[in-house]
Structure 1
């Protein structure tokens, strides 16, 4: 099964400008080269909220001021001498840490929401994904088709269902924008451009659950050679045909940029053996679940939930860990001293060791990592995909299916789009069942809307919990993951109240007007001479 990816057309002059900086101009996976690190970073940062492709973004906003002629004269490969040196150190001595010392920027375009979870599963990499919260999906791809993954084996019923889901999404977006504009009219003290952006953002949040998992996105990756090797192994061992295809394209681009770092992947006695191991391990786990009678369960729509299934460590242990680095005693002796403190002294010590946190980026030391939590969560897939991207935690998830039901946003009825959600859910569920029965079970989730629920686990220490909860509870965030973050905080407060109180930058407010309006107005006020482009998070001077 192969997906025919859209190809963007460039003029002769555009190709001249692009060729020194990109490994190819006609494939959906490509690498960046001959660019300053700051330019690559800024390019990827803008990428997440830009509706087009990375190479088009580069032409529109970044090529000015770059020395194209000088870049064209630079060598395109690592060089024979460097290759021999790397092979002697890495392959000869087996020092895998060397593979952490070089990396590359890669863009993977036109990949489904199913595949983005595979791409972003590795911890030791940086990812930026095109956001369904800032970019409307009612516009077609360069080839005129709607933005979803497809392959011939899925058949015409799949195409008809996906096309209809995108039509419903487009109609819902138009109705939602009209409703939001009427529900929250612009006040005289509000910047007009900020208000329009906030109206669009509110509408996009409201309708994104209509998009199917097959919806295509763009992902930017910066990773070391070691992280890319692990990513390639995951892709090649994954049962999704899309993963296999993107894996081949990704490996080809890395062989252009950092070939020595990924040399083991194609070797039968190295990468081949590793890929076979990963496949066997997945299959053995599946068979064990079937043997134990826990592979499948009954369909049960019990609604979304957040459950703390395990809390490890005590607040006394966390206090001892926070003090450990400034002491010269064994940890057991530190704990013995702490056990002699009264509750008021203990509370005062927590305040002292946490310190005055002026903003959410001021976090206590690693002593908080002595505590950890395992949460079982059921939420809509849209919220899951936002929470899954956090790196410093363990995220495990079950296969997406219709069994847990789907979320209709509370405001859908008021906006007059609840009928569109109901039609989309019925179409989506029916196509899931057809694909699972007639084509391949692993492809069936592509047909489900992002509003369908999924069960997953987040296992994280208290320091990472502070980061996730304070970040994801912000009023600018999507209501789905805000609810998850606040429920996680309530669960932590039950077992570790001092830890919960240390999370001083949690936002429990309910904004009666547009959630992002204040943030947009701050941007308009702080950058009056710049133009905050549609979907941008930072100002860009008007050209």
Structure 2
């Protein structure tokens, strides 16, 4: 139904092809998908909302070209007290409100002790604190290259929304290209892509123009998550074997949780966030892969 409401005709066409194939194996689940008063009406609703919001946003102008950025735009001021209260909840006989009041009146040492009890002895990054960490939330506005975005987009236990891909937020060449003397070639190719994008955007529209944008151009998106998911994302995506672009996003998220939000207990508990040198980490990973290949021969 969502594919039927998409602005691109090819997406709508593939949606119909998928529906045809799915009806061969699960027909009873799809009886209402193309009924006029059910699935078709739902698709019309989605399309109408998209068109209305697109029109409302069209008069807002554009933001100037910018480089990669991570900005923590929203968070819970009292997050750490909320986490401690939520951690005590299943073991107590107090209400949610009562527990938050009790925790707020504790001294710092007692709050820290209970928080450390919640986190426990994490032997590795897969040992995640419990449901209490789902109480606070963080919302980040992010600009990074499209390739890194596609890796971060795979995370599911969060809210993610993105703007159309374009060439208007700039791009940054990989360090290796500059070091090898291919900086001018990079600029030439990216300029050609920019000119082609603007031509297609003017002639056909911004949805179709996305097809010609290389992965190296930046995209702007938001990610909103609770602290438990922040553990998973920042610790996983900052590992030395990861790509430098999303490693930077992950470590910057962690830094802002600690410094901008002031949630030092939460940030310090994310002890497997890795700030180590990116290139060295990737080199070590390649060496490990080579050892495994040699061993398997």
Per the TM superposition, whether the score is higher than 0.5 is: yes
Query: Which residue among 275, 299, 303 is the counterpart of 2:43?
Result: 275
> Is 1:480 aligned with 2:245?
yes
Q: Quote the Cα distance in structure 1 between the aligned partners of 2:250 and 2:137.
A: 15
Q: Quote the Cα distance in structure 1 between the aligned partners of 2:278 and 2:35.
A: 56
Change (3 A) 1:278 1:396: same
**Normalising by structure 1, what TM-score?**
0.52
Change (3 A) 1:497 1:235: same
1:160 is matched with which residue? none
> Residue 461 of structure 1: CA displacement?
0.6
Are the counterparts in 1 of residues 164 and 206 from structure 2 also a CA contact under 8 Å?
no
Change (3 A) 1:391 1:520: farther
> Residue 363 of structure 1: CA displacement?
0.6
| SS of match in other structure, 1:281 | helix
> Residue 469 of structure 1: CA displacement?
0.5
Structure 1 unaligned regions, length at least 5 = 1-232, 532-543
Q: Quote the Cα distance in structure 2 between the aligned partners of 1:297 and 1:284.
A: 18
CA RMSD of aligned residues (A): 2.0
Change (3 A) 1:442 1:345: same
> Is 1:364 aligned with 2:124?
no
Q: Quote the Cα distance in structure 2 between the aligned partners of 1:266 and 1:362.
A: 45
> Residue 395 of structure 1: CA displacement?
0.7
| SS of match in other structure, 1:236 | coil
> Is 1:470 aligned with 2:235?
yes
Q: Quote the Cα distance in structure 1 between the aligned partners of 2:108 and 2:153.
A: 37
Query: Which residue among 2, 7, 22 is the counterpart of 1:254?
Result: 22
2:9 is matched with which residue? 241
| SS of match in other structure, 1:310 | strand
> Residue 522 of structure 1: CA displacement?
6.4
> Is 1:303 aligned with 2:67?
yes
| SS of match in other structure, 2:92 | coil
Q: Quote the Cα distance in structure 1 between the aligned partners of 2:273 and 2:188.
A: 37
Q: Quote the Cα distance in structure 2 between the aligned partners of 1:526 and 1:329.
A: 57
> Residue 234 of structure 1: CA displacement?
1.4
Q: 1:210-225 counterparts in 2 under 5 A?
A: none
> Is 1:509 aligned with 2:272?
no
Q: Quote the Cα distance in structure 1 between the aligned partners of 2:4 and 2:131.
A: 36
2:90 is matched with which residue? 325
Q: Quote the Cα distance in structure 1 between the aligned partners of 2:281 and 2:273.
A: 19
| SS of match in other structure, 1:360 | coil
Q: Quote the Cα distance in structure 1 between the aligned partners of 2:168 and 2:98.
A: 51
| SS of match in other structure, 1:384 | helix
> Is 1:354 aligned with 2:119?
yes
Q: Quote the Cα distance in structure 2 between the aligned partners of 1:426 and 1:403.
A: 11
Structure 2 unaligned regions, length at least 5 = none
Aligned residues: 294
Q: Quote the Cα distance in structure 2 between the aligned partners of 1:246 and 1:463.
A: 36
> Residue 255 of structure 1: CA displacement?
1.1
